Structure 1
Amino acid sequence: MTGRFAVRTRVTNKIERSALVMRPAEAMYALVVDVESYPRRFGWCQSTELIERGEDTMKARMDVQLAGFKTWFITENTMEPGRWMEMRLADGPFKRLYGRWEFKPLSEQACKVSLVLEFEPASSLLGPVIKLGMQGLADRMVDDFVRTAMAEAA
């Protein structure tokens, strides 16, 4: 007897970006975890809502513009102050969304900022658009955080 079955492969997209910044790791961390300020600082962020905040946790919603269309997601974040923040999908148009910011001190006044995003769109139809949008968003996020940190230091 011959059985028929379908094999589903999981398509996870991974994006990695980093930058060397002449700012302390703690300053860059503080900028990234200040999600309530994203809409006034960054054009790609339409709005944010801080749903919960603990000592080293946060749950937040972000409404963003990706590749010409608007979308939203809610993440549950865990943090080690001054070092890293991890984001995991709580709700939104993804099957899977994971992100990690890392802030590695290089000296008292410089650090390496790294962002890793892994995601799987919920819709195969919108998958290519979401992938393109997330790649652009990752580029802009790192660049915009660095630019904002340097402007605030001046």
Structure 2
Amino acid sequence: MPTIRRSALVEHSAARMFDLVNDVQAYPRRFRWCSAAQILEQGEGRLVARLDLGLGSFSTWFQTENTLQRPHSIDMQLRDGPFKQLHGRWEFHALAEDACKVTLTLDFEPSSRLLGPALALGFQSLADRMVNDFIRVADEA
């Protein structure tokens, strides 16, 4: 199962970065790689969302159940989509009051062997773009 991990040191608090990543409904307005985002369920410490993502010729969608531990982490577990398995984790490690390390880890297995290599390449590019874009949005605010 491929694993993608991207990290960055940012001059923003862990809580600020957590809140930006958790604001799923704002993704289509903020990020070109997200064409649609829908909150399907929301409760204390959890969120179920569907994202439609694309970057260049790569596009996919998935639905995850997210476990929220503000401001430390967001764990994403696949509920539906073109994967046998998908698990993601955003981690926000405070380094100072106004600085943190942001890490995105994605473990996934495509449901189709034919699409597997393309999906892996697309997901790698998307993971790089996602981390960079969240930092850009935090810097602009």
TM range (shorter): over 0.9
Q: CA deviation at 1:70?
A: 2.4
Greater gyration radius: 1
Q: Secondary structure at the match of 2:79?
A: strand
The question of 1:49 aligning with 2:70 is answered no
Q: Where does residue 148 of structure 1 map in the other structure?
A: 137
2:63 is matched with 74
Larger deviation: 60-69 or 43-52?
60-69
Matched residue SS, 1:79: strand
Determine whether 1:122 maps to 2:118.
Answer: no
Unaligned runs of 5+ in 1: 1-11
Equivalent in the alignment of 1:109: 98
Note the residue ranges of structure 2 that are not aligned, 5 or more in a row: none
Name the SS of the counterpart of 1:23 in structure 2: coil
Question: Is contact 1:28-1:103 (8 Å) kept?
Answer: yes
- Alpha-carbon deviations, 1:25-63, whole Å to 9, x = none? 000000000000000100000000000011100000000
Q: Which residue of 1 aligns with 2:83?
A: 94
Q: Which of 69-78 and 129-138 deviates more? A: 69-78
Verify the 8 A CA contact 1:67 1:132 in the aligned structure 2: no
Q: How many residues align?
A: 141
Change (3 A) 1:126 1:120: same
Instruction: Indicate the residue corresponding to 2:124 in structure 1.
Output: 135
Query: Between Structure 1 and Structure 2, which shows a larger proportion of strand residues?
Result: 2
Partner Cα distance (1:142, 1:19) in 2: 7
Alignment counterpart, residue 84 of structure 1, candidates 67, 73, 94: 73
**Distance in 2 between the 1:123 and 1:77 partners?**
24
TM-score, normalised by the number of residues in structure 2: 0.98
- Determine if contact 1:67/1:129 at 8 Å carries over to the other structure: no
Deviation (angstroms), 1:71: 1.5
State the AA in 2 paired with 1:17. Answer: R
Taking the aligned partners of 2:51 and 2:68, their CA distance within structure 1 comes to 18
Kindly report the root-mean-square deviation, in angstroms, between the aligned alpha carbons of the 2 structures: 0.8
Residue 8 of structure 2 aligns to which amino acid in structure 1? A
- Aligned mates of 2:116, 2:56 — CA distance in 1: 12
Residue 44 of structure 2 aligns to a residue in which SS? coil
Q: Is the 8 Å Cα contact of residues 67 and 136 (structure 1) preserved in structure 2?
A: no
TM-score (norm 1): 0.90
